[in-house]
Amino acid sequence: MKRHVFSTAAFSGALIAAATFAAPAVAQERYITIGTGGQTGVYYVVGQSVCRMVNRGSEEHNIRCNAPSTGGSVANVNGMKSGELDMGVVQSDVQYRAYNGEANFEEEGPWEDMRSVFTMHGEPLTVVARADSGIENISDFPGKRVNIGNPGSGQRNTMDVVMEAFGWDEDTFALASQLDAAEQASALSDNNIDAMVYVVGHPNGSIQEATTTIDARLVSVTGDEIDALVEEYPYYTRSVIPGGLYRGNDEDVETFGVAATFVSSADVDEDIVYETVKAVFENFDRFKRLHPAFENLNEEDMIADGLTAPLHDGAARYYRERGWIE
Ligand code: GLU
């Protein structure tokens, strides 16, 4: 009898040991965070859309994705560097400068751990001016009230380069405000600024808001200074914003632009990035339907254009599996 009791205890002890041992085998949920931009821009939709594709497969890979609104490209670079963000959307010019440690990133030095994942839609530098402002080209900015953008944004980073090219500083303007992307349209409608600057895909909610509330025009961004920028930097290209996208703006508008790119850090697990790109490309038609700016995306350009940093190992693994790269 005594012996029997002993063996029961030993048996249940073994059960507990087995249960404890089995626990780590039940796959743990992993959470990833993607840095986007203002809620009325396109980056926010990129992040939300990528997460939607990833979360469709959560039962299999146990990855849960979220994509909060952020200050934009530069804020996303900083968030990935500090490990707060796993991935982020970043303008191709910002990617180049952050990876190489140039211009506004000179002080911090190159971020060599930056990794490319894929390229998204084109982003023309878009100037929207009040119809009563007298601004017809970016060269009319001196003496006007201009929102040059919040310091975490990509447009601010690009504007710094544009201002330098024109020989302008903040004193050139009657007002150089630093409002977030999502605040620009109402500032324009309330007549607190004459013009807003947004490096962004089209159509987007912010410019829709500005052009439907008041008479506002997309104006051209051209001239010798802009020609020189396009000539000097590999990531700038000439670009045309087609007419007819916004109320009162039926004509094409000439400007220059960059591409939105999706990046990560070498510190992020290969597996996580692999599952993320797989989720996007395996649901690609569904993904492209989530925003009109995604309509013309194609796989070939997405893994070739606008990427300065080396491909993330997880992305490269998936592209190799598909036979897209060697
Ligand atoms: N290009 C902008 C930035 O880097 C964001 C545009 C968007 O949110 O779509 O801050």
Separation between Cα atoms, residue 272 and residue 202, nearest integer Å? 30
Q: List domains and CATH numbers for the chain.
A: 30-122+259-321 (3.40.190.10), 123-258 (3.40.190.10)
Q: Average of pLDDT values for 72-94?
A: 98
Question: What pLDDT sits at residue 305?
Answer: 83
Q: Average of pLDDT values for 183-212?
A: 98
Which residue has the CA at smallest separation from atom 2 of ligand 1? 154
Q: What is the mean pLDDT of the chain?
A: 93
Best of 89, 128, 290 for a ligand 1 pocket test (most atoms within 8 Å of beta carbon): 89
In this predicted structure, the answer to whether residue 126 has a pLDDT above a threshold of 60 is yes
Separation between Cα atoms, residue 130 and residue 127, nearest integer Å? 10
Confidence of residue 27 (pLDDT cuts 50, 70, 90): confident
Q: Which atom of ligand 1 is nearest to 89's Cα?
A: 4
Which residue has the CA at smallest separation from atom 9 of ligand 1? 42
Q: Where are the beta strands (DSSP E) in 230-307?
A: 237-241, 253-265
Q: Does 155 sit in the ligand 1 pocket, CB within 6 Å?
A: yes
**% of the chain residues with pLDDT over 70:** 92
Separation between Cα atoms, residue 92 and residue 94, nearest integer Å? 5
Q: Does 294 sit in the ligand 1 pocket, CB within 6 Å?
A: no
Q: How many angstroms separate the alpha carbon of residue 47 from the centre of ligand 1?
A: 12
Backbone region of residue 220 per phi and psi (left: phi > 0; alpha: psi in -120 to 50; beta: other values): beta
Q: Which atom of ligand 1 is nearest to 153's Cα?
A: 10
Separation between Cα atoms, residue 263 and residue 248, nearest integer Å? 36
Q: How many angstroms separate the alpha carbon of residue 259 from the centre of ligand 1?
A: 10
Q: Does 152 sit in the ligand 1 pocket, CB within 6 Å?
A: no
**% of the chain residues with pLDDT over 90:** 90
Q: How many angstroms separate the alpha carbon of residue 322 from the centre of ligand 1?
A: 30
In this predicted structure, the answer to whether residue 16 has a pLDDT above a threshold of 50 is no
Question: What pLDDT sits at residue 104?
Answer: 87
Question: What pLDDT sits at residue 208?
Answer: 98
Q: Is the peptide bond before 68 cis (omega within 30 degrees of 0)?
A: no
Q: Average of pLDDT values for 70-91?
A: 98
Question: What pLDDT sits at residue 9?
Answer: 42
Best of 94, 95, 200 for a ligand 1 pocket test (most atoms within 8 Å of beta carbon): 200
Question: What pLDDT sits at residue 230?
Answer: 97
Q: Does 91 sit in the ligand 1 pocket, CB within 6 Å?
A: yes
Question: What pLDDT sits at residue 304?
Answer: 87
Residue that is written with structure tokens 């510190």 in the block: 267
Q: Give 174's DSSP letter.
A: S
End-to-end CA distance of the chain: 70
Confidence of residue 24 (pLDDT cuts 50, 70, 90): low
Q: Average of pLDDT values for 150-174?
A: 97
Q: Does 72 sit in the ligand 1 pocket, CB within 6 Å?
A: yes
Query: Which residue(s) pair with 87 in the sheet?
Result: 34, 264
Q: Give 305's DSSP letter.
A: T
Question: What pLDDT sits at residue 26?
Answer: 61
